[in-house]
Amino acid sequence: MARTPVAEHEERVRALLAPLRTRDAETVPLHAGLGRVTAVDIVTPIPLPPFRNSQMDGFAVRAAEVAGAPVDLPLVGEIAAAPGEPAPLAPGTAVRIMTGAPLPTGADAVVPVEDTTVSGSLVSIRAPRVSGEYVRDVGSDLAAGDVIVPAGTRLASRHLGALAASGIAEVEVEARVRVDVISTGSELVDLGDALGPGQIFDSNSTALAAAVEAAGAELVSTARVGDQAEFFRLLLDSSVDGGAELILTSGGISQGEYEVVRETLEPLGAHVDVLAMQPGGPQATAVYRGVPVVCFPGNPVSSQLSFLLFVEPVLREIAGLPPRMRAPRILDTPLSSPPGKRQFLRGRALPAGRVATLGGPSSHLVAALAAADVLLDIPEDVTELPAGATVETWEL
Amino acid sequence: MARTPVAEHEERVRALLAPLRTRDAETVPLHAGLGRVTAVDIVTPIPLPPFRNSQMDGFAVRAAEVAGAPVDLPLVGEIAAAPGEPAPLAPGTAVRIMTGAPLPTGADAVVPVEDTTVSGSLVSIRAPRVSGEYVRDVGSDLAAGDVIVPAGTRLASRHLGALAASGIAEVEVEARVRVDVISTGSELVDLGDALGPGQIFDSNSTALAAAVEAAGAELVSTARVGDQAEFFRLLLDSSVDGGAELILTSGGISQGEYEVVRETLEPLGAHVDVLAMQPGGPQATAVYRGVPVVCFPGNPVSSQLSFLLFVEPVLREIAGLPPRMRAPRILDTPLSSPPGKRQFLRGRALPAGRVATLGGPSSHLVAALAAADVLLDIPEDVTELPAGATVETWEL
């Protein structure tokens, strides 16, 4: 049986998920905006700073009056960083001013406190100043109506700080992709239940749910079904009715019998495939009542790697997250790989850019996957690699 | 006035926050464990896999009986990946078996379906198998009692998947550091309020709160106070009574008057300092009723950079997050820097490892900080740098 190249399935999933890139906007309170992506250019309704103020603790003066410094000026009071409009500065006087305090009308420069000496009601200015020195002008950071955070920005604390400085209390951000996760398999039991013969715990729903959230999407629900097609369809309907925009399934797509996902979705036009890939050969894509469904194999390692390869890159792009890092590393020990299959081996990064494999290639080694920190990406046509060979790795 | 080197304050804050590194553990449901740090070694209560099962869709056989392949064996049924104990395999027979299904007693190898042909009730095995081939043994991933996730691991989806496979429904993780943020300044108003003369929006509480969360700590509350010392003390008491383990303040620590943080905490033994740093000279540390207090200046850019320099590295370490990335870059245009001050300029990373400054050095340029993606770290003793010089940068 001819196996489909990984890149072809990657393209198929990418095309299936393309409509998700057009997001609706939603409005959230500013403090809930961390990590969200702005849906529109956000403009500041006020100039920043909103009023002319002092950059230093010092004395507000007329620059022209200190041009012949040293010079002594009568001290006429003090302006704090506090609400209210200060009195205009009378010609021939200086006023003590704090950092951030509004400059009085008439003043056009600030003399830092370290360049002055106060004696009684006089302040001695030691050096001349030019107009505008140590003065923060209205709008010198941004004018009212200027874009403060452009559309498509993933909001970090510094963006929230700038938006808050503009008095913006709510932001329009792109809605997160709403994802449902469905595990299938009659051998599965829930965490906390007792394990009978032939039963295993459902780990895929936990792992995929967490992976969805880590990729910046919104997990709507997880569910589990055995091999009853009618229950699987009920879950799909409930996902669609619940507003899921993407459904991920695990299990039930092999060529064997009792394959509930394949049996349900293939008659509805699903594309069921066997990829030239290990682990994770069986894969499928479908559309159910207009909602894209990406179907992974049931082996825990297979389903997690399939998510990482096919769905995560798209979700991370939509969420404004950088792609997972990849880097070439030097193989510490030789390895062999099956012909005609792109193999993803679990490994440990070692010092000096080296890497060692961890556990075997089998798709049931969930603990080895947990202990790994990189994947080794071995191309289809490579069957043997000596120690010292360079391999492409993905950071986990 | 002699200014304190940045590194000295860095060490002072690090020492002040050292007790936070000893964390209490708390138990959370597995699905809430994403991104948390395990407090103890977690061992699997069951072997993984929990029962001997097939690695392939194929036929379970006795390896010795197919040693002389090709050989035909009577087919006696089918074992699915489903609950229940399969019947023992009678000598001289084969049974169809699905991936993940329990191997029957007596069988010790699986022949993949592609190496077989079924005719009626006979299966022809084309190639010999050795004992154990395509069989996943009990505990071949991990034995019961083995550590599945060691203490100190920041939980990713693959760890949650492995824990779920072990049936572990709750995890013991380190409690997050509980942080309170207090803004001070009588010129501050809340977002959404109208801005009067001399007033600015409180942006520090929003920016610091988000920065605390992004650093993996738990924001307990934010609060704001003018210049009334008695209200500031009430807020400190309320933070301590509310269980805050770290209090961050902004504003009120200059040498001027109306400096509510300095006036309140200096008599209680606060260390108030002016750093050889721009922006962000005035800094303080204190202990209030046993709780560490780190005090930043009030200028928004200063307070955000101060958090990034002094507090964030410790919080990220405690949360198991990697340190913020730093890299040398090539300056695109010349710059000058004040003598005797370590300067942190906002910049934009350019292609080919270059960097340009963005906005000026003043600490009120919040929009320029938002637009920046790197900080340029200019050492104290550097006053001029030509284009083409190498500068250290921090990723924002």
Lookup result for tokens 């803004």: B183
A258 and A309, same structural domain? Answer: yes
A157 and A118, same structural domain? Answer: no
Q: What is the domain count for chain B?
A: 4
From first to last of the 396 residues of chain A, give the pLDDT tens digit: 689 999 999 999 999 999 999 999 999 999 999 999 999 999 999 999 999 999 988 999 999 999 998 999 999 999 998 999 999 999 999 999 998 999 999 999 999 998 999 999 999 999 999 999 999 999 999 999 999 999 999 999 999 999 999 999 999 999 999 999 999 999 999 998 999 999 999 999 999 999 999 999 999 999 999 989 999 999 999 999 999 999 999 999 987 777 999 999 999 999 999 999 999 889 999 999 999 999 999 999 999 999 999 999 999 999 999 999 999 999 999 999 999 999 999 999 999 999 999 987 777 889 999 999 999 999 999 999 999 999 999 999
B212 closest CA partner among B173, B180, B188: B180
> Cα separation of B87 and B282, whole Å?
78
Residues B193-202, mean pLDDT to the nearest whole number: 94
CB contact under 8 Å between A84 and B198, yes or no, is yes
Q: Which domain holds residue B72?
A: 53-136
Q: Return the structure tokens found at A125.
A: 């200015």
A390 and A310, same structural domain? Answer: no
β partners of residue B393: B327, B376
CB contact under 8 Å between A198 and B51, yes or no, is yes
Q: Could you tell me which chain A residue has the CA closest to the CA of B252?
A: A81
B111 closest CA partner among B65, B155, B52, B170: B65
User: Residue A247 sits in a domain of what CATH number?
Assistant: 3.40.980.10
What HEC string does chain A produce? Answer: CCCECHHHHHHHHHHHHHHHHCCCEEEEEHHHCCCCEECCCEECCCCECCCCEECCCEEEECHHHHCCCCEEEEEEEEECCCCCCCCCCCCCCEEEECCCCECCCCCCEEEEHHHEEEECCEEEECCCCCCCCCEECCCCCECCCCEEECCCCECCHHHHHHHHHCCCCEEEEECCCEEEEEEECCCEECCCCCCCCCCEECCHHHHHHHHHHHCCCEEEEEEEECCCHHHHHHHHHHHHHCCCCEEEEECCCCCCCCCHHHHHHHHHCCEEEEECEECCCEEEEEEECCEEEEEECCCHHHHHHHHHHHHHHHHHHHCCCCCCCEEEEEECCCEECCCCCEEEEEEEEEHHHEEEECCCCCCCCHHHHHHCCEEEEECCCCCEECCCCEEEEEEC
Q: Which of A318, A337, A368 is the last residue of a domain?
A: A318
Residue A166 within any structural domain of the chain = yes
* Res A360: pLDDT: 79
- Best interface-test mutation with B: which of A41, A149, A181, A206 has the largest number of B CBs within 10 A? A206
CB contact under 8 Å between B198 and A256, yes or no, is no
Residue B1 within any structural domain of the chain = no
Interface of B with A in 154-173 (CB under 8 A): 156-169
> Cα separation of A272 and A293, whole Å?
12
Judge whether residue B364 has pLDDT over 90. no
CB contact under 8 Å between B210 and A156, yes or no, is yes
> Cα separation of A125 and A148, whole Å?
38
Q: How far apart are the first and last CA of chain B?
A: 32
Residue B294 within any structural domain of the chain = yes
What is the DSSP-derived secondary structure letter of residue B182?
E
B215 and B202, same structural domain? Answer: yes
Rg (CA), chain A: 32
A72 and A60, same structural domain? Answer: yes
β partners of residue A354: A330, A350
Interface of A with B in 186-215 (CB under 8 A): 186-187, 191-193, 195-211, 213-214
- Best interface-test mutation with B: which of A157, A191, A212, A263 has the largest number of B CBs within 10 A? A157
Q: Which residue has better confidence, B360 or B259?
A: B259
Q: Return the structure tokens found at B62.
A: 């006795």
CB contact under 8 Å between B99 and A372, yes or no, is no
Q: How far apart are the first and last CA of chain A?
A: 32
B312 and B203, same structural domain? Answer: yes
Residue A373 within any structural domain of the chain = yes
Q: Are B149 and B155 in contact (CB under 8 A)?
A: yes
Sign of CA dihedral A309, A312, A315, A321: negative
> Cα separation of A143 and A91, whole Å?
30
Residue B111 within any structural domain of the chain = yes
Residue B92 within any structural domain of the chain = yes
Q: Which residue has better confidence, A1 or B20?
A: B20
Neighbours of B11 (CB within 10 A): 12
Where does the pLDDT of residue B325 fall: very low under 50, low under 70, confident under 90, or very high at 90 and above? very high
CB contact under 8 Å between A304 and B209, yes or no, is no
CB contact under 8 Å between B84 and A197, yes or no, is yes
Q: Return the structure tokens found at B245.
A: 């383990």
Q: Could you tell me which chain A residue has the CA closest to the CA of B30?
A: A206
A228 and A284, same structural domain? Answer: yes
Tell me, rounded to whole angstroms, the distance of Cα A375 from its chain centroid: 21
- Best interface-test mutation with A: which of B168, B366, B373, B395 has the largest number of A CBs within 10 A? B366
Q: Is B255 on the interface with A (CB under 8 A)?
A: yes
A365 closest CA partner among A143, A203, A257: A203
- Best interface-test mutation with A: which of B187, B306, B375 has the largest number of A CBs within 10 A? B187
Mean pLDDT of chain B: 95
B163 and B29, same structural domain? Answer: yes
A98 closest CA partner among A60, A137, A48, A138: A60
Residue type, B376: L
A151 and A105, same structural domain? Answer: no
**Chain A residues touching residue B141 (CB < 8 angstroms):** 359, 364-368
**Chain B residues touching residue A57 (CB < 8 angstroms):** 254-256
* Res B351: pLDDT: 96
* Res A1: pLDDT: 60
User: Residue A111 sits in a domain of what CATH number?
Assistant: 2.170.190.11
B207 and B277, same structural domain? Answer: yes
- Best interface-test mutation with B: which of A43, A184, A186, A366 has the largest number of B CBs within 10 A? A366
B335 sits in which H/E element: strand B335-336
Look up the ipTM and state it: 0.92
Q: Which of A106, A136, A166 is the last residue of a domain?
A: A136
Q: Is B81 on the interface with A (CB under 8 A)?
A: yes
Interface of B with A in 11-50 (CB under 8 A): 30-31, 34-35, 44, 46, 48-50
Task: Provide the shortest C-alpha distance from residue B267 to chain A (in Å).
Answer: 23
**Chain A residues touching residue B159 (CB < 8 angstroms):** 370
**Chain B residues touching residue A164 (CB < 8 angstroms):** 191, 201-203, 205-207
> Cα separation of A146 and B191, whole Å?
19
Lookup result for tokens 């592609």: B114
B356 and B229, same structural domain? Answer: no
Q: What are phi and psi of B349, to 5 degrees?
A: -70, 135
Residue A260 within any structural domain of the chain = yes
* Res B1: pLDDT: 60
Q: Which of A110, A136, A162 is the last residue of a domain?
A: A136
The strand pair at B342-350 and B277-278 is best described as parallel
**Chain A residues touching residue B181 (CB < 8 angstroms):** none
Q: Label residue A345 exposed, middle or buried (CB < 10 Å: 0-12, 13-18, 19+).
A: buried
List all residues 6 or more positions away from A119 whose beta carbon is below 8 Å from its beta carbon.
none
Residue A94 within any structural domain of the chain = yes
- For residue A305, CA distances in Å to A263, A302, A391, B52, B83 come to 23, 5, 18, 23, 26
* Res A17: pLDDT: 98
Interface of A with B in 305-344 (CB under 8 A): none
B76 and B57, same structural domain? Answer: yes
User: Residue B151 sits in a domain of what CATH number?
Assistant: 3.90.105.10
